[in-house]
Each structure stands twice: as C-alpha cells, then as structure tokens.
Structure 1
Amino acid sequence: MAELARTLPASWYCSSPLYQLERRAVFLKSWYLIGPVVRFLDVDEKVSFEIAQRQIYAIRVSAATEFPGKDDLKVFDASTGDPLPSHVTPTGLLFAALSPSAPSFHEFFPDLEQLLAKVDFTKRPWRRSIKYEGNFNWKTMVDGYQECLHCQYTHPSFSVYYPPTFYTVYNHQNFSQHVADPKKPDDGLFLYFFPICTLNVYGGGMSSFRVCPTEDPGVTRMEFDYYHLEEGAKFEEYFQFTRQVAMEDFELCEKAQTNLERGVYGEGILNPEKESGVAYYQERVFDLVRQQFEEERDKHEAQGDSSGTDSAHTSRMVKIEA
C-alpha cells in the first residue's frame, strides 16, 4: 500500500525564518498571473502590485491594437526601474516573474497555454478590484482553495451550481485545474497557479485572486480582481455571489490559523482523492524550500560561515520529513 501524503507541519505556517526561506526558494523563482490584458488598456498608466515584499508595476507602452499584445505590455521592478520577465498568452493573460533568475514562462508552465486557449480573456471587461488583510498564513488560504473535501459544507451556495460529488483536481506542472464534473470539463475554468494565484471563469464573469504574504507569517493580504460581460445589476449579482464564497473561505482560514498557532493542529494525513491538490502544492513548497536550504547551507559551510541560514530553528523545520 502506497504511503499517504502528510501535511506540512504547523510550524511552517507560523515561522518568520521559514517564510524568508520560502521567499527565496519559492516566490523569487515563480511566475504570477498579473491579469487579463483588459486590465491594462490605457497607455502609460502604471498598475502597481506587491508580491512577497517586491514592488512591481505593469504598464502599457504602446497601442497598435485595441487590446495590448506581447509588445505593448511591460513589467518593471518599482524600486530599480529594471524590466522583469513577462509573458502575454495568445488569448490575453499577462504573467510576470519577480526576478530575472526565474525560469522562463514555458519552462515554468510547459502545458498551460493549450488549456488557456479555450477562453478569450479579452471578452470580459475589468469591473472592480479589492484587497484586505486576513490573520492567516498564505498557505492556509491555498490549502482551502486546493481541496474539495469540505466544499459542500463550507460553500453551500457554490455547491448548488457545482455539486462536489464528482469534483476533481488535475495537477500539472506548477498549476492545478479544478473540474466540478469530469464529464463536463468545459463547464467553467477554475485554475490555481503555483504558488499564490487563481483564475475562475464561469457564467458571464471572471475573477482572480492573489494570496500575498506579508512579513508576518500570520498575516496575508488578499487581492481580488473582477471581470464581467455585464455592468450594473448583473455584475453586482455576480460580485455578491463571489464575495460570499470568498468570505466563507476567509473565516475558515482565520479559524484554521488560530488552531495552527495554538498547537491544536500539528500535522496529519491528506485524503489521496479529495486533497490531491493540497498534497501536490505542499510537496512543491517543501521540495523547493529544502533545496534552497541545502544550497545556502553548503554555500555558508564552504565559506566557513556557520551563521546564515543554518540556524537550529530553521534547520529543524526544513529537515522534517514530508
């Protein structure tokens, strides 16, 4: 019998040194969904973002066509003014990395564009963006998005439209696709992009959110962008529905984080079917953090420096077996 996957230990949700290691291992080496190109229609308007304490901005530099293409959009480091790696998909999504040392877009997402080709992301205009902080670790929120074991109880309104009976998560390289009914794979598009971005397309609306860690491992900033074919009452109805689902997640995450910090929950076993999405992304986090830790440890040892990342506190957590 295959060994069942275990969750990351609670300490990984509460430690500042561990988050700094995650920042170097995960965040500075990943790609992020910045948004559909319809978010960036005005030439020379800077749209600012902050991801893992890195300030960046996207800007449309030219307007040869109605919607900006790959040559019209640029992303820059706000503190240095240096250009950052960016990519516009053929169907109109802008992605960017935080560092030139990140792998290329196609290296990071080798089989993503084929799936994205099913949707024209220029069809739904940008309507609204909101952001606020929550008292939970960034992984606490991703845990909730990536599992479908408790959807029927935590999201009763969403479950009316997408019953969780056959809900399935398909994991790819650095992204997951959520399918409510495997017999209807084109009934909406629900994607998680490792490590902190999501994209949800259904009905006439589209929404995305970023789970942005702060320097405090117990505080995360949630950023939401909303798009819809309709204005007025139609959009407001969609907006209120998606906000209800988001707040159900928010409340659950704050309660879960409290249990993690108080030691009520330490670690456990993941359901191999209903929590495969959690197992997938947590394993990615663990592997990247361990690799970064070992590289930095070896570097410090070679330099004769016993301080640096090889502290007893960080070492104990990174060496915990997944």
Structure 2
Amino acid sequence: MSFLKSYLGYGGSQASNEKEAVRALPASWYTSQEMYELERRAIFSKKWLFTTHKARIPDSGDWLRYEVAGFEFVICKDNKGKINAFHNVCRHRAFPIVTEEQGHSLVFSCKYHGWSYGLSGNLAKAPGYQDLPGFDKTKNSLLPIHVRVDRNGFIWVNMDGKETPEVSWEQDFAGVDEQPRFDKYTFDDYVFDHSWEMEGPYNWKILADNYNECYHCKTSHPDIPAIADLSSYYGPQLSIMKYEVFRNKNSSDEDFNIISDMYKRIMSEDKYLCSNAQKNLDIGVFVNGEMHPTMEQGPLYFQKLVREIVTEHHQRETKADCEIWPSRQTLPNAANSAVSEKDVNFCSRVDCCSKTPNKEALAF
C-alpha cells in the first residue's frame, strides 16, 4: 500500500488542513464482522482495485487467480492479446473454474460437470444442454469483471456487476498513471521474479493505516523508508499479504537479493506491529486514539475515505431496506429468471427477519 500511496501521488507531500490531533476510527470498525461485510459491499464490490502488472501474463492463455475480501477472480490474456477478468465461478453450479494459483490454458474447463469457457469468458461447451430448447449459451458466459490496464501496464479491476461500473476509472484515478515522475521508468525493463505471502491476524484497515505513514519508521524500521505489498482480506481479523517481486533486467544478483531480503524483513516487522495493535483492539478497552495531522495524514485521509464510502452505502441500504451488493450477478430476461428472482427476494426477507437487534445497524 505504500507503493499505492506513492503511485497515486499522495506520498505525504500535501499539507494537512488540520492543526490539532484528529480522532481515528474506533476499534469497533476493526473488529466487527458486520462492518467487514458492509465494507465488502460498499468498497470492494464497486471500487477499482489494484492487482498486478501485465508482465505476469505475457502470453495468450496465461492466467492468474486472486482473492480480495472473499471475491475470487481470474485474470487472463486471450487469443487477441486482451486482458480479461472473471469471477472464479462456473455459471452452472458455482464450482471454481480454476483451483491453482496460476497457469496456461486454451480453455477454462470446470471439473464438476465439464462446462468449458473460452479465454474471453464465452461458454464453449455445456454437456447435454445442446438438446434443451431455449438454452442460450450467450447468456451463460463467465461473470465478467471490469479491467483497466493503465499506461504503465498495471492491472486494475472493478467488481461492479453492471455493464458500466457505478464508479468510473476517471472518478477514482484520472491521470494517476500520467504523472511526469513515471517518465524516468521503463517498466518493460522489469520482469516478474517471484512471489511470497504472509498471514496476519489483523484487520485490513490496520494494514492500510500502517503502510500509509512512516511515523513509525524511525522506531520500528530505522534503516528504511516505506515498502509495498499486494494484499488479500479474508475477514475482520485476518489478512493475507501477497508480495509480487519484479526485477530489473540489469540488476545483479547481489543487488537484487539485498533489496528482496530487506523487504521480507520489513514486512515481518510490520506484521509484529499490526498483530499486536489488533490484539489490543479486540479486548474491548481501547476506543480510539488521536492521530497527528501531518505525520499521519496518510492514515487520516484513508480513514476519511472509508468513513464516507461506508456511511453513504449504508444510507442507501437503509433507504432500500435491504443489502446492496454492486458485484452481484444480474439475471437475464427469461421466464426461469423471474422464478429465480422470486426465490432470491424470499430468502432476503427471511434473512432480514432473522437478524438480531445488535446487527440491525449494519445489516438487513
């Protein structure tokens, strides 16, 4: 996330308007399962998410599997060189279309009932369904995810299930990849070297708070500036950090290993910090602290965005009297779809009636 802060041009250079310490988000925002589910709907379902670089899938047929906040998806390059992304869900009975972390395939073939899909997501084969009148293969393609490859080759995705996402790329990141400071980099000189991961027993926002400031660096990392990562978030108190390491083609083994090993050490130090902070948030004593308006402006800006996005989405759900999942599949116009929609609505009403009082503030 430090990479993201730098890439997006935040970097701590903009002066804060605040002159006094600012209260941080309360501990409950870092421990509540209901809050995490609301964040999945409000943030991860419709905002543009950074994933990887196109150098990871150089050839047609190459694919990668990712998971962010419970959303599992596949990024691939098709036969025309286009980069696509799909939910890792077969349209028949919801079995994953891939189970490995990465691979190379001409088609995606579900190992449950044999439904097969092309690299563009179109349904190629559904055994036995060719004899069913009215079955439309074109309405059973893999569920697509919006993709943006920026001018520097970085791949971003948006889970919004609508044909046009509610939040456009321009709304989130207009011009972010056109900053003059990127002109000195030749991204084609970098190749993927390796990846590694680390599990942390803490909320995703603790991870973001930590990586968006270097106020702690003099104490915890006395010899380095900020570091970067790609992360997956599995619950209110669990994150999996996945690191993709790219190497300059002209880098010596000695130089590369020094930097790579340093990053691993720093990530381990940050895991210690985040884990112990989460531990104290869980015990129910600490409510929130006061953050420095300039030295911690990164976390303050991040928390402000989270607060605004989550609050706005909750207001929409309150008005609609139901949960709103922007990422949810849109059913096609067909007679059997009307029956399915009726079943979905019935289950929603049952779920609404089963909510306990203390959950009603965030869930429906």
User: TM-score per shorter chain, which class?
Assistant: 0.7 to 0.9
Amino acid at match of 2:290: I
Identity in percent: 25
Looking at structure 2, the residues matched to 152 and 264 of structure 1 have their Cα atoms a distance apart, in angstroms, of 28
**What's 2:139 paired with?**
none
Specify the alignment match of 1:99 in structure 2. Answer: 160
1:317 deviates by 7.8
- Which one of 239, 251, 276 corresponds to residue 272 of structure 2? 251
Structure 1 unaligned regions, length at least 5: 64-70, 163-189, 191-199, 201-207
Deviations 1:36-63 (CA, angstroms, capped at 9, x unpaired): 2111113202111011111111111147
Give 3-state SS (helix, strand or coil) of 2:259's partner: helix
**Are residues 263 and 234 of structure 1, via their aligned partners in 2, closer, same or farther at CA, if it must alter by over 3 Å?**
same
Q: Which residue of 1 aligns with 2:222?
A: 156
Output the CA distance in 2 between the equivalents of 1:56 and 1:310.
30
1:16 partnered with 2:33: yes
Amino acid in structure 2 at the alignment position of 1:23: R
Superposed CA deviations along residues 251-293 of structure 1, whole A, max 9, x for unmatched, are 1000100010113432022110011111111111111111111
CA contact (8 A) 2:21 2:293 kept: yes
- Residue equivalent to 1:85: 146
Matched to 1:48, the amino acid is R
Question: 2 CA distance for matches of 1:24 and 1:234?
Answer: 43
Match of 1:134 in 2: 200
| 1:162-181 residue CA offsets vs partner (Å, 9 max, x unmatched) | 4xxxxxxxxxxxxxxxxxxx
2:85 — aligned with what?
A: 75
Aligned pair in 2 of structure 1 residues 231, 56: CA closer, same or farther (>3 Å)? farther
Q: What RMSD over aligned residues (CA atoms) do the two structures have, in Å?
A: 2.8
- Which aligned pairs between 1:167-316 and structure 2 lie closer than 5 A? 208-214=228-234, 216-229=235-248, 230=251, 232-300=253-321, 307=352, 312-314=357-359
SS in 2 for 1:227: strand
Which residue identity is paired with 2:148?
A: H
CA displacement at 1:99 relative to structure 2: 2.2
The answer to whether the Cα contact below 8 Å between 2:20 and 2:292 also exists between their aligned partners in 1 is no
Aligned-partner Cα distance in 2 for 1:125–1:242: 18
The count of residues paired between Structure 1 and Structure 2 equals 263
Q: Please report how far the alpha carbon of residue 311 of structure 1 lies from its aligned counterpart in structure 2 after TM superposition.
A: 6.4
Question: Is the alpha carbon distance of 1:152 and 1:137 closer, same or farther for their aligned partners in structure 2, counting shifts above 3 Å?
Answer: same
The equivalent residue for 1:27 is: 44
Cα separation, 1, equivalents of 2:176 and 2:280: 36
Structure ID, larger Rg: 2
Give yes or no for contact 1:36–1:92 (8 Å, CA) kept in 2. yes
Tell me if structure 1 keeps the 8 A contact 2:314–2:362: no
Match of 1:123 in 2: 189
CA contact (8 A) 1:32 1:95 kept: yes
Aligned partners of 1:122 and 1:30: how far apart in 2?
A: 27
Distance 2:198 2:285 in 1: 26
Q: What CA distance in whole angstroms lies between the structure 2 residues aligned with 1:240 and 1:33?
A: 24
TM normalised by structure 2 equals 0.66
In structure 1, C-alpha distance between the alignment counterparts of 2:169 and 2:189, rounded to whole Å: 24
Distance, in Å, in 2 between the alignment partners of 1:57 and 1:309 is 34
> How does the TM-score come out when normalised to structure 1?
0.74
Tell whether the 8 Å contact from 2:151 to 2:178 is kept in structure 1 after alignment.
no
Q: 1:148 to 1:308 in 2, by over 3 A?
A: farther
Q: Aligned residue for 2:23?
A: 6
Alignment partner, residue 143 of structure 1: 209
Distance in 2 (alpha carbons) for counterparts of 1:269 and 1:260: 15
AA paired with 2:243? F
Matches of 1:212 and 1:297 in 2, distance apart?
Answer: 28
